[in-house]
Amino acid sequence: MYRQEVNITSLKKSLPEMLDLVAKGDEIIITKSNIPIAKITPIKPPTFSVKKNLSISTARTIKNRMDIDTNAPEYWFG
């Protein structure tokens, strides 16, 4: 993991490239008048734990509930 310092003006010009570096694990320190004011760091993806003894019927129930939520008309939610 590398750490880079960049001033605000440079960050505005090269934000997509800087975000690519962050996505690869680098850290960006943003400076204003050579004073560090902010830090951009990568975030960890969420981890989901699934019980090993999850039954097939329980898994189907979970999937059906997810389908209902994602395919429901908007007026159901107010």
The residue ranking higher by pLDDT, 56 or 46, is: 46
pTM of the prediction? 0.54
Domains of the chain in sequence order = 3-40 (3.40.1620)
Question: Measured between alpha carbons, how far is 59 from 56 in angstroms, rounded to an integer?
Answer: 5
Question: Measured between alpha carbons, how far is 22 from 42 in angstroms, rounded to an integer?
Answer: 5
Using alpha carbons, select from 16, 45, 18, 43 the residue that is nearest to residue 30: 18
Q: What is the pLDDT of residue 2?
A: 86
The residue ranking higher by pLDDT, 1 or 19, is: 19
Report, as an integer, the average pLDDT of 1-7: 89
